[in-house]
Amino acid sequence: MSDLASVRVIVYGRVQGVFFRAFASREAKELGLTGYVRNLPGGAVEAQAEGERKQLEKLIDYLKAGPPAAKVERVKTDWSEYTGRYSGFVIKY
C-alpha cells in the first residue's frame, strides 16, 4: 500500500511576484500530486498538496529552494491525513 498523506505548506520570504505559484504548480504536477497553491495576504504563499509522502517531501524541498527570483526565508509544514478531495493541482487566484 502506498503511503498517502496531505500537507499544508506556508512559504515566507520574497515569494510573491516571482512566479512562485507557477513553479510550485509545475513541480507538484511532475510529482503526481494534487491540491492547490495560492498567495496569502501579507506576502506568504500557501500550498496544500496530497499524494505519496515521499513525493510530498520532494515538493517541500523544491518549495524551500523556490524559483530563481524568490528568496525563501522560512517554510512551515503541517501534515495531515490524505482526503482525496482534489482532482488535480491548480493555482488559486
* Identified catalytic residue from 26, 38, 39, 53: 39
Instruction: Kindly list the distances between the CA atom of residue 62 and the CA atoms of 22, 58, 69, 84, in Å, as whole numbers in the listed order.
Output: 12, 6, 14, 22
Residue 64 to residue 85: CA distance in whole angstroms: 25
CA distance 16 to 32: 24
Give the Cα separation of 48 and 55 in Å (integer). Answer: 13
State yes or no: is 39 an active-site residue.
yes
**Active-site residue set:** 21, 39
